[in-house]
Each structure stands twice: as structure tokens, then as C-alpha cells.
Amino acid sequence: MAPSSFLITVFGAGGKTGQECVKAALARGDAVRAVVRDPSKYEDVFSALLSSSSTTSTSSPSPSSSSNLEVVAGDVESPPEALSKLLEGASAAIFAASASKSGDVWKVDRDGLGNLATAAKATPTLRRVVAVSSALVSPHNGWHPIRLLLNNMRGGSQKIMDAKFAGEGLLRESGIDYVVVRPGGLTEGSALGASSLVVTQGDKAGAGRISRSDVAELCVAAAHAGETASRVTLEVSSDPKKKGEKNEKTSYESLFSGLEKDNNA
């Protein structure tokens, strides 16, 4: 198969949500540049993703040989000039990196997104950055028990919700086109599709729950979407009443169409 003309660079591709973003993009027919710290650790993972994708016709594909998937070494803690090389020729970037379990949240969730935004701004081909953040990240939710728990689970200065919110700010201030996706509590399982999603703005609806696969499909759709998904921030969860359903009547485009642009736009 010839490589797709739409290339998405996925940062944090080794994490659970990042892997789902790679899978969703491949399923859509996109070319993917998956950025991980050590590609050798993920060879089997990405080979499995390719095996389950319709974007390749080989029975046992190797990530390094796939026409639609390139796995490369990289780190969002690197300076923008280093990240620029990972964005060469890309149409969009998805930021799925996070230091939620280890690492420095300020270097990854805040500065990492800022570094990517700066690099993206200097990449002529790049149309949009889609960043995975979190519901309840806004400071006005400071006393919400879930935000308090997440923000203090690492102790000390490692306030991940504060770092994510600061990273969002750096992205907005960069001038690059973007979509910030704030999912509720992340679960495993298959995507239910656009019709199952509840999309809000203002970070006032609480957390909710949503599968990583649904988050990934939404992020990839946002990467492709037009002006309706330009410079917007949204919270997303799944409707419990539609659990187990897969209804295609609602499109991702229709979800984006009712969104208001951020005040900085």
C-alpha cells in the first residue's frame, strides 16, 4: 500500500492512550509517526497494531517496514528544534504524553506540550496539534475531590493537573491551531463511537468515564476536522445509557460543529 498523504505524529505513542491513537489513525488510513523513548521496547506492540489494522496487507508486518507506520525515538522533554525533526512532513500532531506515573509532570505535561507547540508553529506542513489533557483540570475545580486526588497522588511539587492546565496555556499562546481534548476517567475497551459521546465545554460537568479507544478516535477525527474544530477546548465522556451500543448516526463532525472557540482565538 502506498503511504498516506496525511501524516500524524503521535507523541507518547508508547502509553495506553498513545497506542490507541496510533491504532485509530492507522484504521483511518493515515500514515503515523509514533514517537517513543525506546523503539526497541515497542516492536511487538506496534506489530500487533499493524496486524489488526486494514492499512497493511502483510501477515506479520514489521513497524520499521510498514509504509504507513514509522516508529522513532523521541522525547517531548527535548528542545523544540529536536521535535521539529519529528514533525517533518506531518499534517497534524497528537500529544498523548504524560508523566502521570513517573517522570516530572512539569517537564512533560507542561513544558513538553509547550515544546511541541513551538516546534509545530515552525513546521510549514502542520495544520493542527491535538492535545490530550483531562477533565476537571481547570483551577476553578480546585476543590473537586477527583482533581484533589489526581493532583496530589504523587505528592510534593508533582501537581499533574496544574501542570496539564499550564501546558494547555502554552499551546493556546503559541498561535498554532489546536484542539484540547479533556477526557473523563479513562477505561479500557472498544470504542462505542461518536453517538455515545457527551461533549461539553467550560470544564463544569464533572469527570465521567470514557474508553481510551473513544478518546483516540475523537483525537484523530479532530486532527482531520476543518474550521469547526479550530482552537477549541472540550470535555468528553461516554453516556452510560448507551454503553455497549455502536450507533453511527452521530458523526464526529457534528460534535465539533456546536463548539465555541476559546476566548483567545
Render pLDDT for 185-230 as a digit per residue (tens, 0 to 9). Answer: 999 988 988 989 999 999 997 778 999 999 999 999 999 999 989 9
Classified as helix, coil or strand, 84 is helix
Q: What is the mean pLDDT of residues 129-139?
A: 97
Q: What is the mean pLDDT of residues 136-155?
A: 94
- Tell me which residue has cell 477546548: 233
For residue 236, pLDDT over 90 is answered with yes
For residue 88, pLDDT over 80 is answered with yes
Q: What is the mean pLDDT of residues 248-253?
A: 76
> With bands split at pLDDT 50, 70 and 90, how would you rate the model's confidence at 62?
very low
> With bands split at pLDDT 50, 70 and 90, how would you rate the model's confidence at 90?
very high
**What's the distance, Cα to Cα, between the start and end of the chain in Å?**
39
Taking only the tens place, the pLDDT of each residue in 165-175 is 999 999 999 99
Set of cell numbers at residue 73 = 525515538
Contact by Cβ (8 Å): 129, 114: no
Q: What is the mean pLDDT of residues 120-148?
A: 96
Residue 69: what pLDDT? 94
Classified as helix, coil or strand, 191 is coil
- Mean pLDDT (the chain, rounded): 89
Residue 47: what pLDDT? 80
Could you tell me how far CA 200 lies from the centroid of its own chain? 17
Nearest to 206 by CA among 147, 255, 262, 160: 147
Amino acid, single-letter form, for residue 71: V
Q: What is the mean pLDDT of residues 20-26?
A: 95
- Tell me which residue has cell 484542539: 179
By DSSP bridging, strand 209-211 and strand 185-187 are: parallel
Residue 66: what pLDDT? 61
Residue 1: what pLDDT? 38
Helices (H) and strands (E) in the chain — how many of each? Answer: 9, 10
Residue 249: what pLDDT? 59
Q: What is the mean pLDDT of residues 47-75?
A: 65
Nearest to 35 by CA among 8, 15, 57, 13: 13
Q: What is the mean pLDDT of residues 58-68?
A: 51
For residue 54, pLDDT over 90 is answered with no
Residue 46: what pLDDT? 82
Percent with pLDDT over 70 in the chain:
89
Residue 151: what pLDDT? 95
Query: Measured between alpha carbons, how far is 159 from 172 in angstroms, rounded to an integer?
Result: 20
Set of cell numbers at residue 61 = 508486518
Q: Which pTM value belongs to this model?
A: 0.91
**DSSP label at residue 261:** P
Phi, psi of 235, deg, nearest 5: -105, 145
Set of cell numbers at residue 238 = 461516554
Query: Measured between alpha carbons, how far is 1 from 24 in angstroms, rounded to an integer?
Result: 18
